[in-house]
Amino acid sequence: MPNQAATADPRYTRRPPARRFSLSWRDPRVRNIFWQVVILGVVGLAVWWLAVNTMRNLEVRRIATGFGFLEREAGLPIGEHLIPYSPADTYARALLVGVLNTLRVAVIGAVLATLLGTIIGIARLSRNWLVAKLAAVYVEVLRDLPLLLQLLFWYGLMQGLPGPRQALKPLEGVFLSNRGIKFPWLVWEPAHSAALLALAGGLVGTWAVSRALRARQNATGQRTPLWPFALALIVGLPLAVWAAMGAPFTLDMPVLRGFNFQGGATISPEFAALLLGLVLYTAAFVAEIVRAGIQAIHHGQWEAAGALGLKRSDQLRLVILPQALRVIVPPLTSQYLNITKNSSLAVAIGYQDIVSVANTTINQTGQAIEGIAIIMIVYLTISLSISAFMNWYNAKIALKER
């Protein structure tokens, strides 16, 4: 940063002379433009040749092109769907069901893998020899086994459960059989929807109160606890709305009738095996990321936190982990991307995600290019969304120097 005297010197205030643009090969700008035009031209010609050649081959083989098949009736049965669906619906809706199935296993898997991986990563640094070694064995074994093998193992284990008549009953109303996991589920009524909306409003309100309290603390130095407001908004408000609408609460209990269960909710063997395999496998990688992030923090931070009288658990929660997040978040993004892409292995165990539904669609319609393009667009969109969100979060927690 030049001082005032140096700023007044015309040598510092004068702009450097602009270089004249000349159409000469010795000018680096000309060479840059030339090679960029050449590369763009080569890429464009390659794309054009591939497109023309593909269209000609499809025409010779009398294979239809375009996305008009999306409006046709699919006739494709899908066992698990988050939105209403029947085989009489269109291919577009069937593919949407596949996308939602992929998102369901990816989102739940990412959350569970993060929780489990964080616990195991911290356990690897435990002062308890047995806990640390057990965590190390988990990481080394699960990381070195192929994911597909693990998925087949868990699916085989689910299929090895007894039939519905001999189903295991670990808890009242919960049944484990080769048809999946049956458990009681709430009979949904309008009061529950209203309570859910109130919960969403309570979360937003808690976030707003948190920002206001933080601003007040920065201005006055006085700290006001957040938990009374959070308790009132997140717990009290939904309960009040639910009670005001009659407090309905009826459980739909699964009951064995004939050869299968009726009522309640079901987790299919395919979904359970896929989720279990993805979570256990990804958690091993997350654990190593968490361990490395914690070890990246200087030991002086532990000593400083200990000098304040904090317990080791509070040192980890309040001092170490917030700093370690800056190291953890970037590689954690890769694991979220991996768990989403690895969910495509669901084809091997019969879970109908986007890849499975798209493959069936290709077999029925013969339009492979469109089907593969849909799969690529879906995974590209999900991957870019995850990257954008994690980059935003990483920038938010980044150390800001003043």
For residue 400, what pLDDT band results from cuts at 50, 70 and 90?
A: low
Residue of higher predicted confidence among 390 and 261: 390
**Given this model, what pLDDT does residue 188 score?**
87
**375 touches 102 (CB < 8 A):** no
CA distance 96 to 83: 9
Q: What is the mean pLDDT of residues 317-326?
A: 87
Round to the nearest angstrom and report the end-to-end CA distance of the chain. Answer: 16
pTM: 0.80
**199 touches 160 (CB < 8 A):** no
pLDDT digits 0-9 by tens, 96-117: 999 999 999 999 999 999 999 9
Q: What is the mean pLDDT of residues 141-154?
A: 94
Tokens describing residue 232: 């009132």
Kindly report the average pLDDT of the chain as a whole number.
Answer: 88
Tokens describing residue 229: 């407001």
pLDDT digits 0-9 by tens, 62-86: 777 788 889 889 888 888 888 999 9
Share of the chain above pLDDT 70, in %: 94
Interstrand relation of 260-262 and 265-267 (parallel, antiparallel or unpaired): unpaired
pLDDT digits 0-9 by tens, 355-377: 999 999 999 988 888 899 999 99
**Given this model, what pLDDT does residue 43 score?**
96
DSSP string, 339-363: HHHHGGGGGGGT---HHHHHHHHHH
**Given this model, what pLDDT does residue 16 score?**
66
Q: What is the mean pLDDT of residues 335-347?
A: 92
Tokens describing residue 44: 């464009």
**341 touches 67 (CB < 8 A):** no
CA distance 236 to 241: 9
Lowest mean pLDDT: which of 147-161, 214-228, 271-285? Answer: 214-228
For residue 322, what pLDDT band results from cuts at 50, 70 and 90?
A: confident
**Secondary element (H or E) of residue 215:** helix 190-220
Q: What is the mean pLDDT of residues 237-256?
A: 88
**Given this model, what pLDDT does residue 107 score?**
94
* Residue 1, pLDDT above cutoff 60: no
**Given this model, what pLDDT does residue 11 score?**
62
* Residue 305, pLDDT above cutoff 70: yes
CA distance 380 to 377: 5
**Given this model, what pLDDT does residue 8 score?**
56
Share of the chain above pLDDT 90, in %: 49
pLDDT digits 0-9 by tens, 30-64: 889 999 999 999 999 999 999 899 888 888 877 77
Mapping DSSP to helix (H, G, I), strand (E, B) and coil, where does residue 331 land? helix
* Residue 92, pLDDT above cutoff 60: yes
Ramachandran angles phi, psi of 19, nearest 5°: -80, 135
**273 touches 151 (CB < 8 A):** yes
For residue 401, what pLDDT band results from cuts at 50, 70 and 90?
A: low
For residue 2, what pLDDT band results from cuts at 50, 70 and 90?
A: very low
